[in-house]
Structure 1
Amino acid sequence: MKILSGNSNPELAAAIAGYLDLELTKASVRRFADEEVFVEIGENVRGEDVFVVQPTSAPANDNLMELLICIDALKRASARRITAVVPYFGYARQDRKMGPRTPISAKLVANLITIAGAHRVLSVDLHAGQIQGFFDIPTDNLYAAPVMSADIESRLGKRELTVVSPDVGGVVRARALAKRLGNAPLAIVDKRREKPGESEVMNIIGDVQGRFCVLVDDIVDSAGTLCNAAAALMEAGALEVTAYVTHGVLSGGAVARVEASVLTELVITDTIAPLQVVRDSSKIRIITVAPLFAEAMRRTSEESSVSSLFD
């Protein structure tokens, strides 16, 4: 078993390798003068089970090309099996036609990864479960809920908690986390999105009066939805609102928006390498999914059950 890292999130790859007591595979992933990607594997991988750790976060196109070329280099070096470990799957939000003459980019990216030579894909909290069906190779979608629930119980365990989904589409995710927290009550924020990047909170479904609310979502990008939802929950009588989100995209002025919001804290995982402004934020905390990925990769290599991680 070998682990290869691209340039997208080398800290996460190193943490996964450390958990498995392995060294990262020697490789050079660099750019030519015209910004073309070049990959050179620095050690023998013939007949090996190789895992390529590369989130396709911003810059999405550069990181995606790195992933594809790493896979191609391993295929041509006769690796026995190549698993694309994509903690954050870019283009996942384009999983259906949003209007006439628009692409389904998530399916296109799935095709590219498959054709490049990957034998398996490993990700966490895909934006939509059906993305697994876009791949013609085995795909494991891990869940960050066990990591989040352990953190919530250690910090907020003795409080009267209500798990909140910031929209109707995230109810299944919120319900799964609520179940792990001893069947905590569930609430839903009903919102209407007038145009991309903007959301308007309409009302709260469920009782949050006097409760400590935990907002849960898969992606925080502009943070508008989370901040609006938190404000609505406080207006509805919540005592405190904390948000747990798997993928901290946090583009544009998202960090400043979180800092100015009524959120007590935003907790994200390290699927995406955090920018310095995120590390410096007083309201954003990062928890790691390295042990989760490491154990899933170990089980994949040993041909044992991955789904039992979440029983």
Structure 2
Amino acid sequence: MNKEELHQLLHPMKVIGLGGNPALNEKIAAILHQPLIETAVHHFSDGEIQVNIGESVRGCDVFVIQSIQDPVNENFMELEIVLDALQRASAHVINVVVPYLAYSRSDTKTRSREPITAKLVANLLQLTGMDRLITVDLHASQIQGFYNIPVDHLHAIPLLGQYFNAPIAIVDQRGARYDTEVHDMIGDVKDKKCIIIDDLIDTGSRISSSTKSVLAAGAKKVYVAATHALLSKNATEVLNELPIEQIVVTDTIKHKRYPDRMVRISVDQLLARGIDYVYNDRSIHQIFDEQNRLK
């Protein structure tokens, strides 16, 4: 019996999928050939949450998948309660897999009496007994330093990059407003097909402003690529009104309705490989090396 087989015998893998993004949970579990543990999550009329994990996790290496998306605080609290339950149930290792980590944009203090909420989230997760975080395309990479545990920061941008391959130009956007202004371009986009790349699309205002800027600079066609499609407020309507050829995003976040011309690429293989590598003590860096070879 080799080391890997002994580990699997002593500390079997268990996977729990919570309510943030059930479809992605199922796809990841299927790739891993691991059934999701039956986990009963009940929301009471006053907003309180009750959790019951349907089988023993004692001595197991548990991976909890939860996209902390809208409703953000409800999904975050659901995760916290499950982590507490796992700790009390004597899980061997508790790994948290978060395709989208909310509050990542609040990573620094920009004015007086303002919180650093990304740090608060890190503190709360660690206080509940988490041993490792696996996540995708944080808004700011330095958030990894908010955790005193291993953080595996996976990148979905190379998946989007397989759609596109082009030189870079920069839209010079400064300040908080993106909705009406046309900004200066750094780089030549005249008569070219342009791809606007961002880590997330929230209300769509920044994409709208950037689209206007590159078109004003003479671009022939505009494409958009982003990892996380938050699509809050009236983002779907905003994006539908823009002269964009295609919007390419991943499925880190689920919605009932998507903008026209939107293509979704799954991060299921990426996250499943991350989980497999962690469980079997393989270097996550192998994933980055393979992604670099695809560029």
Q: Deviations over 1:36-93 (max 9, x none)?
A: 1111100111111111111111111100001111111111111110111111111111
Partner residue of 1:14 out of 5, 8, 26: 26
Partner residue of 2:46 out of 31, 34, 55: 34
Partner residue of 1:139 out of 137, 151, 161: 151
Contact residue 179 and residue 208 of structure 2 kept, 8 A: no
Following superposition of structure 1 onto structure 2, how do residues 44-193 of structure 1 map, counting pairs within 5 Å?
44-150=56-162, 152-153=163-164, 181=165, 184-193=166-175
Q: Deviations over 1:246-275 (max 9, x none)?
A: 11011111110000001111111111112x
Matching residue of 2:221? 240
Structure with the bigger RCO (C-alpha within 8 Å, sep 6+) is 2
1:282 and 1:194, CA in 2 relative to 1: closer, same or farther beyond 3 A? closer
Alpha-carbon deviation of 1:31?
1.2
CA–CA distance in structure 2, aligned partners of residues 124 and 32 of structure 1 = 31
Contact residue 124 and residue 143 of structure 1 kept, 8 A: yes
Alpha-carbon deviation of 1:194?
4.4
Matching residue of 1:300? 278
Contact residue 196 and residue 223 of structure 2 kept, 8 A: yes
Alpha-carbon deviation of 1:20?
1.1
**Which consecutive segments of 4 or more residues in structure 1 shift more than 6 A?**
none
Report the residue type matching 1:83 in the other structure: N
Equivalent position SS for 2:257 = helix
Matching residue of 1:159? none
Matching residue of 1:161? none
Partner residue of 1:254 out of 206, 224, 235: 235
Q: Deviations over 1:83-133 (max 9, x none)?
A: 111111111111111210010000000000001110000101000011000
Give the aligned length.
277
Contact residue 160 and residue 249 of structure 2 kept, 8 A: no
Partner residue of 1:283 out of 252, 256, 261: 261
Matching residue of 2:10? none
Matching residue of 1:2? 14
CA–CA distance in structure 1, aligned partners of residues 257 and 271 of structure 2 = 26
CA–CA distance in structure 2, aligned partners of residues 310 and 215 of structure 1 = 23
Alpha-carbon deviation of 1:32?
2.3
CA–CA distance in structure 2, aligned partners of residues 201 and 111 of structure 1 = 40
Report the residue type matching 1:284 in the other structure: M
TM-score of the pair, normalised by structure 1? 0.86
Name structure 2 gaps, 5 residues minimum: 1-12, 290-295
Report the residue type matching 1:193 in the other structure: G
Matching residue of 1:178? none
Contact residue 227 and residue 263 of structure 1 kept, 8 A: no
Report the residue type matching 1:55 in the other structure: S
Alpha-carbon deviation of 1:23?
0.7
CA–CA distance in structure 2, aligned partners of residues 51 and 253 of structure 1 = 34
Alpha-carbon deviation of 1:302?
0.4
CA–CA distance in structure 2, aligned partners of residues 260 and 205 of structure 1 = 25
CA–CA distance in structure 2, aligned partners of residues 259 and 79 of structure 1 = 46
Report the residue type matching 1:98 in the other structure: T
Matching residue of 1:176? none
CA RMSD of aligned residues (A): 1.3
Equivalent position SS for 1:141 = strand
1:56 and 1:199, CA in 2 relative to 1: closer, same or farther beyond 3 A? farther
What's the % identity of the aligned pairs? Answer: 41
Equivalent position SS for 1:193 = coil
1:100 and 1:199, CA in 2 relative to 1: closer, same or farther beyond 3 A? farther
1:194 and 1:68, CA in 2 relative to 1: closer, same or farther beyond 3 A? closer
Equivalent position SS for 2:200 = strand
Asked if residue 264 in structure 1 is aligned to residue 264 in structure 2, the reply is: no
